[in-house]
Amino acid sequence: MTATRTSPYAALLLRVSLGGLFLAHAGVKLLVFTPAGTAAFFGKLGLPAALAYAGIAAEVLGGLALILGLYARWVALALLPILLGAIVTVHAANGFLAQNPGGGWEFVAFWAVALVVQALLGNGRYAVTREA
């Protein structure tokens, strides 16, 4: 049975945590690797460089939307392809454990599952948009 009294706060905590992770991840791409460096890395993977800029924008805007509770269900689902793409293009070849050289797919997969859980839970408390 779901604890209806506390589940809205669980959704809030998950939503804010996921949003913060996306902002931190985008911050690394912006401030450490730089957008041009990220685009060059995407190019080495055989991906269009423009996809790097779109990914950074999606992480910033999606992270902010999650924190604010702005259509969290849909934002969580919209961010899911970024993480699944990261698994396929970067992390899968490095093995399971995140501590492996190059980072395995363990953390990214868990992060993707957390997005699915957010989509199932909805906004939670203190959200900009209300759900039925």
What are 5-16's pLDDT values in tens digits?
999 999 999 999
Closest residue by Cα to residue 15 from 57, 86, 84, 74 = 74
| Count: domains in the chain | 1
In a domain, 129, yes or no: no
Please state the pTM of the whole predicted model: 0.93
In DSSP notation, 24-35 reads: HHHHIIIIIS-H
In a domain, 132, yes or no: no
C-beta separation of 66 from 72 below 8 A: yes
Is residue 106's pLDDT more than 90?
yes
State the amino acid at position 106 in one-letter form.
E
In a domain, 21, yes or no: yes
In a domain, 43, yes or no: yes
Q: Tell me: the pLDDT tens digits for 84-101?
A: 999 999 999 999 998 899
Q: Which two tokens mark 106?
A: 């363990």
Range of the domain at 102: 7-121
d(CA 15, CA 74): 12
Q: What integer pLDDT is reported at residue 132 of this predicted model? A: 60
Closest residue by Cα to residue 22 from 70, 60, 65 = 60
Helix axes 49-68, 7-27, angle to 10 degrees: 150
Q: How many CB atoms lie within 10 A of CB 128?
A: 12
In DSSP notation, 85-108 reads: HHIIIIIGGG-S-TTSTT--SHHH
In a domain, 77, yes or no: yes
In a domain, 54, yes or no: yes
Q: Tell me: the pLDDT tens digits for 74-86?
A: 999 999 999 999 9
Q: Tell me: the pLDDT tens digits for 19-46?
A: 999 999 999 999 999 999 999 999 999 9
In a domain, 110, yes or no: yes
Mean pLDDT of the chain: 95
In a domain, 76, yes or no: yes
Q: What integer pLDDT is reported at residue 11 of this predicted model? A: 96
Q: What integer pLDDT is reported at residue 98 of this predicted model? A: 87
